[in-house]
Amino acid sequence: MMVDTMRSFGPDSFAGRLACILQGSSDTTFYVVAVYYGAVSVKNTRYTIGTMLLADLVGIITSIVLAYLFFG
């Protein structure tokens, strides 16, 4: 989605900058679960997924606010 936004609106547009901030703030949730938990054989993730998704939501909201603050 970020690459499509860059192609459509350009990297220096508000949408391009917002896409970069969103990508940087919420990219690692399922990567951490898949790679790190798989490497140490964690089978019961318990509250981790919910907490990570909540952190992603906070990251998305913060990204939008910061993009408007700096670039809007």
Distance (Å, whole) CA 21 – CA 24: 5
Q: Which tens digit of pLDDT belongs to each residue from 45-70?
A: 888 888 888 988 888 898 889 888 98
pTM: 0.66
Q: Which residue has the higher pLDDT, 12 or 22?
A: 12
Q: Which residues have a Cβ under 8 Å from the Cβ of 29 and sit 6 or more positions away?
A: 52, 53, 55, 56
Q: Which of 11-15, 23-27, 50-54 has the lowest mean pLDDT?
A: 23-27
